[in-house]
Structure formats: C-alpha cells, structure tokens
Amino acid sequence: MNILTKAISADDAAELLSISETHFLDLKSVDIKPAKLSKTISAFANTSGGEIFVGINEQATIDGKERVWSGFADEEAANGIFQVIQELDPLGGNVSGQFISADGYPGLVLVLTVFKSQSIIAALDGNVYIRRSAQSLKVADAALEALRFDKGVKSFEDEIADVEQEAVTNSEMIIEFLLSTIPTGEPKIWL
C-alpha cells in the first residue's frame, strides 16, 4: 500500500470536523487499539465499504460533544494500524490509505478507504462484523451463513437437498420437462 500525504485547506479540515458518522463513515481517535480498529475494517469490508478517519476525537463538553482534530505526530506513529491492515488484507486490495494535514491543525489524520470485499473478512478477534447505520455489529451464526450466500462465498447450488431421490426423479415437473424436451430420456439418468 503506497501511502501519500495530502494537505487540505483549513476550511476543508473544519468541514471534516462537522461530518456525521454514518453507514459509510467512521471517526476514530489515534489512541484506538489497532485490534479494535480491525472490527470497523471488517464491518466495512463485509458490507458496502466506507471511510475511516483516524485522528478525529470526540470530546465531551457542557453542550454535548465536540470533534477535535488530533492526528498522528508522524506517519510512523500509525505503523500498528498498517500491521493490522496487512493481516486483514495481505494482498492489499480491500483497503487504501492516505494521510491528510491542514495548517493550524495538529498532526496527520489517516484516511482509510475500505472497499467491499468479495470474501468474508474477520477482525483480529476472530469474529465477523457488518456495518449498520453508524455502528459495527458482530455477525451471529445464522447471519454469518446468510452473509456467505450474499457474498457468493457459498451457493444454494452446492447445498445437498434433504429429500429422497425418487421424489425428484419422479416429480411432475421433471416428467413434464423430459416428455416435452427429451421424450426418450430417463429422469434418473438425465438428472
């Protein structure tokens, strides 16, 4: 992953501090443990993708919460995050990153773009997550099976039907099909 640093204007930085967390966007402090960040990466990769801004803090104020730009001191300070990304995405196709800086704002904010994955990506805790609204949710057993089908990792065509063979070979639909298409065909042999 080739990481570039881009300078943005102070106005763009102020606008960034006012954006809301959504189904496609999350804001994290530089103090986040990389293993915990892997849950958000898993959720975005398993759903529709999204962006994570690491270096934007939420601080409690008298009026509620306030967002503060508090980036990494330098690029090297984010190495733990890149190690996690390497574990989750060894071929480097699901996550891209870029640092942004702005005059008057301390440090570098890391912007991670997580693309929707064709496979199922588990977080470092071994669990699979999906994104719903502005949260990352752990996927339970039945939902994990549905996610496998949704992503095409598993196909209904590969499932073994729990029926007797004769119920299929002598079904009305198969008999009608063979009579109209292959009149000399035998159901069991044709199937």
The structural domains of the chain, ordered by start, are 4-155 (3.30.950), 160-190 (no CATH)
Name the pairing type of β-strands 95-102 and 4-8.
parallel
| Burial of 28 from C-beta contacts in 10 A (0-12 / 13-18 / 19+) | buried
Radius of gyration of the chain (CA): 25
Q: Tell whether pTM > 0.75.
A: yes
User: pLDDT digits over 83-136, tens only?
Assistant: 999 999 887 789 999 999 999 999 999 999 999 988 889 999 999 999 999 889
Q: What is the mean pLDDT of residues 178-188?
A: 85
